[in-house]
Amino acid sequence: MMTMSKYCLYLAGFLFGFCSNCLQAQQEDFHLRALGSLRYTLASEWNHYDLYHLGGNPAGLHDNDTLKWLQVWNENSFTRGDFRRFYDPKKINYTTVAFAGSKPLDEHQTFWGKVIYASDQLIGVPFALERNPYEADPFILADSSSGGFQFWGPQVEIIYSRQLSQRLDVGAQLEYVLDSAVRAHESRVKIIQRNLLTRLGVTIKLLPGFNVGITYCYQNLFDNTEVPTRQDGRNPITYRYRGYLVSRRELNRYVRNALTRHHQVASQWLVQPGSALTLLVQGGYCFQYSDLFDGTSVRYYEAYWERHDYSFDFVGKYSPLFSPWTLTGFTNYNFTSAWSKHYRLPVLISDQTQGNLESGLGLGYAPAHRNYRFGTEISAVQEVDHFVDYIGHTVYDVKILSPELRIGGEYFLSELISLQLGGQWLHLDQCGEIPYHAGSYHSLGISFGFTLWQKNYLVELISNFSRDREKHSPFAERYRWALLMNSKFNLE
């Protein structure tokens, strides 16, 4: 029915991330986005070298967020172009409105919360009946038509941290996301997605300058896709892919469900042997498994998918006292092993291994009595993927090398106003092809920012623009533009 295209969407974030959603910090730093998306070199609100901001441990909230504040932001982004994979939409419009706040309840406990309402409009989606057909599992639901989806829904997240003693803190995080959409086509496919995440954390101050954290994360994702009878009375014809080449036709109305669960344990180690040197080490293991089944009251199980993720992350910062220079180094390693099988029969569907190593250095300059600061980071990702599609009798092997350069600077017009400028350059070389990966491409991005500080509030305006161009075809490009307005109020 269909063949895979080599033109793929820009996926640098996939290369740098651990596929489990449990290993993430609590919130993106908007200010750093305006500075070329620098991650470690320049100090900002959400990249502090502690177990909460970079470590993602909810138990560290009380130690690192002691003010009462309220934050409101709105983001709009637009993606256009013909540089995309076979199932990717032609256009994407994303809008979000969000509120967040933190409140110390007393001297021993702190509460943080966030509410987001988002709209994700996917225009011109070819064939796919899923929001993310290139997710980690090798099962795709498609038909022979094209249409769009507009996902709407809320996201609620809360974090609570309590200090039990001067050495021991505990914390908990709860996040709930609900999205739904109806396909803008006569097939009227309905999709409902629900995501529930809980994380428990403990931090222990073993020695002065030596803190240890432990987290356990459970995540439950449920996708419900209903393919109804068409308005003209005809039954739909859909294609259920097992792997990426072979599908089974479904001629009747039906409901398909995917239930995915994550169990992840991680440990964080923060070492500060002196005022100049800070080291943060993290390690984690995530077990993820998914059941695919049809029906509502009576379940007909179709397939089972299992995945194991191992991660190691290191970040170090050296900033001598009274020196304007800051040197950072970072290394991230992830290894993944996954397989899928028929639910009732001893038949393997797919097998996958993936290794991902990123290393980089950063240099920042922030003189104490000057009205400017700037920084740069250079990194490289090397990834090796091996995927076996047993149903399609195909083996995919791919090797990727991806260097990236990030540059950002900030100029303070006065004590209350600053301007930010940043840029990103990425060059990805891919040897071999695999359906869910990007082909070789170049990426160039630029960012602008404006910040106004007052005694009890700040206002930010940030804009980003990026262009991705397929390496072997100058006409295959994709553009993304985003505008963010952020405000934060001190309620003390």
User: Which whole number is the average pLDDT over 77-102?
Assistant: 94
Contact 344/332 with Cβ under 8 angstroms?
no
Which pLDDT score, from 0 to 100, does residue 232 have? 62
Per-residue pLDDT reduced to its tens digit, 344-377 = 888 899 999 999 999 999 999 999 889 999 999 9
> What value does the mean pLDDT take over residues 420-427?
96
What separation in angstroms does the CA of 16 have from each of 334, 380, 465?
A: 9, 10, 20
For the chain, list the domains and their CATH numbers.
12-490 (2.40.170)
pLDDT tens, 177-222?
999 999 887 778 999 999 999 999 999 999 999 999 999 999 999 9
* Phi then psi dihedrals of residue 12, to 5 deg: -60, -35
Q: Please give the pLDDT value at position 2.
A: 37
Residue 31, phi then psi, degrees to nearest 5: -65, -40
Residue 270 is predicted with a pLDDT of: 97
Query: Is pLDDT above 90 for 276?
Result: yes
- The whole-number average pLDDT for the span 434-444 is 86
What pLDDT is attached to residue 236? Answer: 65
pLDDT, tens digit, 9 for 90 and up, residues 60-76:
999 988 889 999 999 99
Q: What is the pLDDT of residue 16?
A: 31
Within 8 A by CB and 6+ apart from 357, the residues are: 331, 332, 333, 381, 382, 383
69 with 491: CB under 8 angstroms? yes
The amino acid present at 252, given as its one-letter code, is N
With pLDDT > 90 as the criterion, what percentage of the chain qualifies? Answer: 69
Structure tokens at 439: 């082909």
Task: Using pLDDT thresholds of 50, 70 and 90, give the confidence band for residue 234.
Answer: low
pLDDT recorded at residue 7: 32
pLDDT of residue 18: 33
What type of residue sits at position 90?
K
> What would the pLDDT profile of 90-116 be if each residue is shown by its tens digit?
999 999 999 999 999 999 999 999 999
Kindly tell me if the per-residue pLDDT of 171 is higher than 70: yes
11-31: pLDDT as tens digits? 333 333 333 334 344 456 789
Per-residue pLDDT, 346: 87
Geometric angle at alpha carbon 363, from 16 and 372, rounded to 5° = 115
Q: Which helix (DSSP H) or strand (DSSP E) does residue 69 occupy?
A: strand 69-81
Q: Is residue 229's pLDDT more than 80?
A: no
Mean pLDDT of 456-468: 94
Determine the pLDDT at residue 235: 60
pLDDT at 8 over 90: no
Task: Show the tokens assigned to 7.
Answer: 């033109």
**Average model confidence (pLDDT) across the chain:** 89
Percent of the chain with pLDDT over 70: 92
pLDDT for residue 245: 87
Lowest-confidence region among 263-272, 291-300, 429-438: 291-300
Give per-residue pLDDT as tens, 157-166. Answer: 999 999 999 9
- Residue 407 φ/ψ, nearest 5 degrees: -135, 135
Nearest to 479 by CA among 32, 36, 10, 17: 10
More confident residue, 224 or 473: 224
Strands (E), 208-242: 210-227, 238-242
Is residue 456 scored above 90 in pLDDT?
no
pLDDT value of position 298: 72
